[in-house]
Each structure stands twice: as C-alpha cells, then as structure tokens.
Structure 1
Amino acid sequence: MGSAGDDATAAELAALLRALEQGRSRRTGFPGGSGFDYRPLAPFLHHELTDPGDPDAGTTADHHTRAMEREVVEFFADLFHAPTQDRWGYVTTGAAEGNLYGLYAARVVYPDGMVYLSDTAHPSVTKAVELLDMSSVTIRSLPGGELDCVDLRHVMDRHRTRPAIVVATAGTSTTGAVDDVRQIHRVFRDLALSRHYVHTDAAYGVHAALLATEPGFDLADGADSISVSGQEFIGTPFPSGAVILRRSLHERVTRADTPGTTETVVGGARNGHAALLLWYALRRLGTAGLRGRAEHARDLAEYLVRRLTELGWPTWRNPHGYTVLLKAPPAELANRWRLSIVDGWTRVSCLPGVTRDQVDRFLAELREGAAPRVPAQPTRLRPRVPATAA
C-alpha cells in the first residue's frame, strides 16, 4: 500500500479513536464493564497466543496460555461452588459459547430431552437450541423477569416422559432478574423427574455471586453447568467468558461424543489473549477487588433509582441487579447517551466503569431536557417491566 493508502488508514484509525474517546464519558454500561487498565499486557499483542484443544491435554506448542486458562477456570469454579475434586471448564469467546456448550452437554447426556427456557432468556439461548436441533418450550416469566416456576411445573407435567433440560438465568439482560435453581429442582421432585439437567446463563451474574445474593443459581444450588462473561462485569475489552461444569459430566460427554480426542471444546483452538486478560484482571483484582466493584455497581444503581424517584421519573430496579429501568427520555438525550428504547422504556447498566459523576450529568440533562412523565396506566416492556415501575 502506498503513502496515500497509509495516510487514509491512519486518518480512519484516528477518527475511530476520537469517537471512542468522546463516547467514553457517556457510556451507560453497555456492552460491558470498563475501568481496568490492561496496558501492561500490550507487549503480548506482538505474540501469537493460541490455546488448542482441552485445557488439560498436553501440547507441543509453546505459544499458549493454558496455565493461565486453568487458573481462570479455577477462579470461576470456586466462585460458582463447583466441587473441588469434580470441576472442569475452559475460556470461551463469550457467554453465548458457554450457553452453546452447556446445552451441547445436555443434549449428549439426554438426546431426547426437552429444553425449557424463560421468555426473558438471552437470544443466544434460543439460537443454541436451534443450532443443536433441540425441542424447546418457552415458559412465562414473572413481572420482575424471573422464571415462573408455577408455569414451568404446569408445562413440564405435559412432557414428563422426556428428560427435562432447563436454562436458568442469573441476571437477565433487561431487568437483572435471577432464576432460583433450587425452585427448579423442587419442580423436578414434585413431578418425580429423575432425568434432568440445569444450565445457568450467568453472563450478568458475577456480581450476584460475589455479593452472595439470593436466590441460588450455581452448582451448589443444583446447576449442572454455568456460563459466565468476562466482558460484562470484569471488563475485558472484547467478548470473552468461561463455562464451568463437573468433570465427571464432561468425561461423560467426551466418552459419548468425542472418544480418544482432545477436541472437547466448541471451537477447538481458542484465543490465548482472552485467557491472558482474564487471568491478569482476576489476579490484580482478586475476590475482594471484584466484590468492591460489585458493591459500587449496586450502590450506584440504588443511587440512580433514588434520584430518579426524587425527580418524579418512573423507574424500577430489580434488587439483585445493577440495571435501572426508566421511562425513555427525549430521543436527542437518549441518542447522546447511547440508550436503546423498547416500548417507551430504556435502561442504564451501572457496571464497573460507570461513575457517579456520569450519573449526575445524565440526571442533570434529564432534568433540563424534559418534565417527568408519569403514565396513567402501567406500561409493560417486553420482557415485562413490573407495574411498580410505571
């Protein structure tokens, strides 16, 4: 490429960087957390890092971060209470891949299983069900976004001859609702179902595990596998995550589907830089540092709800989440703050990296831009917003 092409490339990159820097001050938590400095890892971008096959398998390659990947898996296995001597996992491209692997494992164990998912489940769950060609039923959610276990029991009773595969969510993307895996197991017991599997999508659930909030959703509570995002809360600068399950279950899946091979993960070779960045963040922050970020996110969400209420602006927050729902502001303000609007509602995610100063500036613009609008009738968002929000 000649000088003109180099200049054009440089100009395009400079424009992109300016846009990113200008938008930083108006980020409202989407798509993930921020505020962690990864610059000390810049020298590693000059190296190819590929983690091939099973994280525990041997390899002749030396350009990998498998040891760091195993440490990341151990951290999340501890966080989600996987049995000390019965745990396995790997670093994924994001929570969506973890959902795909969890359902893949469920399908290998129960080829004729019926998948039950909430109408507030993440779209990646529906996509995984379609890719794996699994039968599924959608279950209603409660007004706050949680899986309705009464409806689950009613629907599951009609399919009780088939194994039950339930996808729980720990932190729905819209309301931050957390499904109770113990209640799901109560449904299994009530219907005398012995063949069952629970996968938890915990992409948005790290803060709930750190703050030990109810309800329970991890392996100690009855989940068989769990998917987590490294971008949403920890704040890697690109999508990443991990999937955790019992080693005994993983070995069962491997024997049934891929005997004699180390290619036991969805994508085969994986991004070694993702494991490196997650390892670095978890090492530097530790459980205490991450818990501090979770407490800050929770407190900031509570602060935003309190201030919106003082303004008379319709708002609601799930007590387990850092997502604040509010009636949509004028379009110009929503565009300026990168807010998406669905059925007259929008949301602010008070993830790490969002500051009180940002929240105060948003509130000031909201107060100046339009008068609060309290509707006469409750308005439902899809997924549903509690009537108390309206």
Structure 2
Amino acid sequence: MNRIDDVLNRISNSTQNFLGYPLAKDFSFQEFAPFLDVCLNNVGDPEAPSTLAIDTKDVEKECIAFFADILSSNMEEVWGYVTNGGTEGNLYGLYLARERFPNAVVYYSESTHYSVKKNLHLLNLKNIVIRSQENGEIDYQDLEQSVMLRRDLPAIFFLNIGTTMTEAVDQLDEVKRIIRQYAIKDYYIHCDAAFLGSIAPFVEPKPKFDFSEGVDSIAISGHKFLGGPIPCGVVLVKRQHRNRIANSISYVGTMDTTITGSRNGLTPLFMWHVINKFGKDGLAKRVKECQELAAYTELQLKAIGVKAWRNNDALTVVLEKPSEVLCKHYQLASEGAIAHVICVPGLQKAQIDAFIKDLQFERLKAS
C-alpha cells in the first residue's frame, strides 16, 4: 500500500496548490464508496433501457432535466446524456451538425479549446479559424468577412461561452446579425460552455447562449464548477438532431445515440448529488462567492503592480505571466505572455494571499 499512499499524498498536495485550472475543490463523495464495488454501465441511450440493468440512467435523466431547465428548455424539446467531459460534448455537437449539413464550413475562433481542432479532423469537417479580439472573444468583423465569402455554403458556428484562457464569451446576437445580413438559411450553432455552462444561468445579466436563443447544442463540463473526482460533462441537443442519428442495437437492447457505447454510470450520481445538495439558490450563492474571490484576487494583484484583468465578472483573473518556478508551483496555465488564476469553489482567500506574497517577493527580487 505504500505506493498507493505515495500517489495519494502527491495528488493531495498538488490539489492544495493549483490555482490555474477550473476544477472545484470543495467536494467529498465518500458516501458513494459502496458503488466502487459494482460496475455501473449506462450503455446506450439514457432514455432507453438495456438488457444490462446495472445502470444509473434514471439519475442521469434527472441531471439532464436539470440542465435543460436552467438552459431555458425542457425534455420534450431537448435530449442529452452525461459525457466523459467537454471534448466529447463538443465532438457530439459537431457530429450532429455534420449529419445535418455534410458540406458545411465550421467557423471557430483561435481562442477555442485545443481539442476542437482534433474533433474537426476526426469528423473531416471543412473549417475556418477566425481571429480573436484581445480579450479572447471572436472577431466579428473577421467572421463576417469569412461568412460573406462562403455564403453559398451551410455554416456551423462553434461559439465559446467562456474561452479557456480568458473566459471570454462570443456574442450570439452578433452571430445572428451576420446570419441575417447574408441570408444564411442552412446553419447550426453549437456552444462550448464547458466552464460557464453551470455558472452563466446564475449570472446577471445572463450571457445569451441557451435554447431560448435558438442554439442547436450545448456542451458543459461537470467536474469543473460543480466538482467531482472523475472528469465528466453533459451535452444537450435539440431532440430533432438526436433523432436523425438514432439506431437500434439488438445486442444490448437499447438505442445507439451516444459517442461511446459503455458509459460511466458513476459520474451521473456525483452530478446528481451536487445538483440536489445546492439547488438553484445554492449554485447562485456559489457563483457569487467565486466572483467575490476573483474580484479580490484582481485587486490584490493590481496592488502589487501586476497587470491583471477580468472579462466582466468572470471567475478567471488574467495576469502577466510570472516565473516558470511560480507557474509550476501554483500550476498556472499560461499562453504567451499571460497566465491566469481561476477562482473555483473551494479555493480559499488564504491560498490567494500566499500566491500574492510569493509573487510580490519574486518581483522585488527582480527589481
């Protein structure tokens, strides 16, 4: 057991130190330990029972219903399932878009998550990378020019509802304006809301990205803001798109509508637990607390002379990149000349203060 203890100690220490990744820290699922002695397999469609009955599909459907509700829809209009994470959710949305418009062009910004390029390659989809603005938001002028040149082709708009580095939100109203201006009749809108999907519904003003705004699919991560020990997520789509690709599989006695066949039956339990523990009011309070910590972090960084900023009331604080030593110790994600601190649930003010103190000491040494 020494080896296992060593691994646990290493991970526990690293969990305390990281500041640069959107992973909630304030959870415990020890009461679910008995489920580790069974193989939970949510094979196939969550709405269709299987001949294999060791699943949590009933719980999974409750999770999807919750997200459908906070995304301004219902289970009659949308369908979804619990994924392995944001990458699978984005792959699924792009897959449905391709099945709807096989000859379409995908438009996405240079600030889009690295996995999307891989997804586009896997699906063999024509695509155009659009410039980003300084804050990470898509450049609408560049997007408009690109669409204008290809207005005879169907368009798939891949929008970021919170970019990886700066938590920038692509404005759906601007995309709709371009669609109207160039009379694009055949289009599909997918929203990558990996981090913000479970935050934005509780923010005022609420960013426009849900089904009431006419989007076709949305991917959200479950382990980021809600929190959990295993990466997971949800993807929700207009039911008509899901119906287009559904196939019956006799071997398992269910419908094949998901990317993977065998699916994790444990993560829906974790997600369900968090949703029911906090409820809408509790999640809204959780968002506000994280926003307050982010505001505090931004102010403290500026107080020691560090250039720091946030997009609106984002939980992500962007700053000029510290030394490699500090980036490694605090596990800060960086890109070019910037890094970021993400104020996730469970992150304590004392941890921010420790980072500020170390950063201030480093800057004094360098001056």
1:270 and 2:253 are equivalent in the alignment:
no
1:105 and 2:96 are equivalent in the alignment:
yes
Aligned-partner Cα distance in 2 for 1:318–1:190: 28
Match of 1:294 in 2: 287
Aligned-partner Cα distance in 2 for 1:344–1:47: 47
Letter in 2 for 1:312: G
Match of 1:95 in 2: 86
Alignment equivalent of 1:33, drawn from 24, 33, 36: 24
Deviation (angstroms), 1:320: 4.3
Deviates further, 115-124 or 209-218: 209-218
Alignment equivalent of 2:330, drawn from 337, 345, 348: 337
Deviation (angstroms), 1:273: 0.4
1:200 and 2:191 are equivalent in the alignment:
yes
Alignment equivalent of 2:209, drawn from 214, 217, 226: 217
1:237 and 2:235 are equivalent in the alignment:
no
Distance 1:262 1:372, change over 3 A: farther
Aligned-partner Cα distance in 2 for 1:49–1:142: 44
1:309 and 2:308 are equivalent in the alignment:
no
Contact preservation (8 Å) 2:172, 2:208: yes
Q: Quote the RMSD (CA, aligned, Å).
A: 1.8
Aligned-partner Cα distance in 1 for 2:27–2:46: 26
Aligned-partner Cα distance in 2 for 1:249–1:340: 36
Aligned-partner Cα distance in 2 for 1:12–1:367: 37
Contact preservation (8 Å) 2:17, 2:329: yes
Match of 1:280 in 2: 273
1:1-390 superposed matches below 5 A: 10-83=1-74, 85-205=76-196, 206-254=198-246, 258=247, 262-371=255-364
Aligned-partner Cα distance in 2 for 1:360–1:351: 15
Matched position secondary structure for 1:120: coil
Matched position secondary structure for 1:270: coil
Letter in 2 for 1:270: R
Matched position secondary structure for 1:347: strand
Contact preservation (8 Å) 2:25, 2:227: yes
Aligned-partner Cα distance in 2 for 1:353–1:104: 35
Aligned-partner Cα distance in 2 for 1:208–1:308: 25
Deviates further, 49-58 or 339-348: 339-348
Letter in 1 for 2:98: R
Aligned-partner Cα distance in 1 for 2:75–2:10: 46
Contact preservation (8 Å) 1:181, 1:222: no
Deviation (angstroms), 1:366: 1.6
Distance 1:185 1:337, change over 3 A: same
Count, aligned residues:
362
Aligned-partner Cα distance in 2 for 1:152–1:119: 11
- Unaligned 5+ residue runs, structure 2? none
Q: Percent identity?
A: 35
Contact preservation (8 Å) 1:94, 1:240: yes
Write the deviation string for residues 309-356 of structure 1: whole angstroms up to 9, x where unpaired: 111111111114211111222332222212234323211111112111
Deviation (angstroms), 1:27: 2.1
Match of 1:386 in 2: none
Matched position secondary structure for 1:50: coil
Deviation (angstroms), 1:371: 2.9
Matched position secondary structure for 1:233: helix
Match of 1:388 in 2: none
Aligned-partner Cα distance in 2 for 1:25–1:236: 15
Deviation (angstroms), 1:250: 1.5
Aligned-partner Cα distance in 1 for 2:131–2:258: 32
Deviation (angstroms), 1:212: 4.1
Contact preservation (8 Å) 1:27, 1:354: no
- Unaligned 5+ residue runs, structure 1? 1-9, 375-390
Letter in 2 for 1:245: V
Aligned-partner Cα distance in 2 for 1:224–1:372: 52
TM-score, normalised by the number of residues in structure 2: 0.94
Letter in 2 for 1:347: H
Matched position secondary structure for 2:281: helix
Aligned-partner Cα distance in 2 for 1:91–1:357: 35
Letter in 1 for 2:312: P
Letter in 2 for 1:72: C
Letter in 2 for 1:157: M
